[in-house]
Amino acid sequence: MFVNQAFQNTYGYEEEELLDREIPILSINRITPALKTEIENKTLKDGWRGELMTEKKDGSAFNTYLSTSSIRNDEGKAQALVGICQDITDLKNTEELIKKRNNLLNVLNDVIRYTNRTFDFRNAILYSLNKVCEYTHWEIGHCLLVKNNKLCSSHIWNENISDEYLPFKESAESITFDNLEGYPGRTYYEGLASWMSIKDLTDRKVFKRQEVAEKFELKTGIWVPIVMEKEVIGVLEFFKKGEETIDHEILDCIINIGIELGSLCEKLDTISKIKQNEKILNDAQHIAKLGSWDWDVEKILLCGLMKCIIFMN
């Protein structure tokens, strides 16, 4: 057996360690017996090419592209087998990153399309919570809305929330937050998103629901503002069972969803004001059509069919 220096550097084996041993690429448990047989048989024929998850000497796994072929003598019999392998970890990571970004873009675009065609703010919140939880696989999504300068539960939760979290829901729906009170209150006051590890929070004034969250092993939380005309009108919050390190791309996606919900609220507010102005105009037109007004100079009398105002000398 011969291996070049690049193989030794990649896999961590010295050439002497591989003498009289099975090829390490094919000897790990990650490769099924059926796949191993397929590679060996095709190598003896026309060769085999494909991607594998393989291991280094220290047991660490990485993605490999393997190309095999056989060297034959004049009689056509295989005398040696050749395998060329390439570490494609960076390539696979890039592919996964592109796939992730496309999926996040699809989540955001789905929310934008929904908010563009709906006139129901609460349904838009529900749709957004569902989309985020569906993509991230986080267990809980919830929305708080501002009422009388306090953050209160909107009673809107992601639809697939498990019944086991009902005590957490009850706790969350009974609590309100002032400015800077807890992470929701901080988000309300600062207008900034947060991704926090709950297990590190020991001050109950910082996180009111820590005790019930720990009971259900909810160890990570996200808080994102819903902003309308630079004013925070609500907060989206999400909870994960287990530790989850911050993912800035996911957080940025949820921040943009908060902005979209704020834009929807602004649109609905504008429509409401237009309807109010239309009503005032229609009422004025209705009054104008009910009668004709005459001016009596002698009596200084303004007469209308609906009412009469007399100014006496």
Q: Domain boundaries in the chain? A: 5-87, 92-270
pLDDT at 291: 52
- Per residue in 113-153, pLDDT tens? 999 999 999 999 999 999 999 999 999 999 999 999 999 99
Q: Out of 27-41, 220-234, 252-266, pick the least confident.
A: 27-41
- Per residue in 80-104, pLDDT tens? 888 888 889 999 999 999 999 999 9
| Cβ-Cβ contacts under 8 Å for 162 (sequence gap 6 or more) | 139
pLDDT at 154: 97
pLDDT beyond 70 at 111? yes
End-to-end Cα spacing for the chain: 125
Q: Out of 6-15, 58-67, 158-167, 179-188, pick the least confident.
A: 6-15
pLDDT at 239: 96
pLDDT at 58: 83
- Per residue in 167-214, pLDDT tens? 999 999 999 999 888 889 999 999 999 999 887 765 556 778 888 888
**At 16, phi and psi to the nearest 5?**
-65, -30
Its pTM stands at 0.76
Q: Do domains 5-87 and 92-270 have the same CATH topology?
A: yes
pLDDT beyond 80 at 286? no
DSSP string, 39-77: HHHHHHTT-EEEEEEEE-TTS-EEEEEEEEEEEE-TTS-
Spelled out in words, what is the top-level CATH class assigned to the domain 92-270? alpha beta
CATH classification code of 5-87: 3.30.450.20
Q: Out of 86-90, 240-244, 298-302, pick the least confident.
A: 298-302
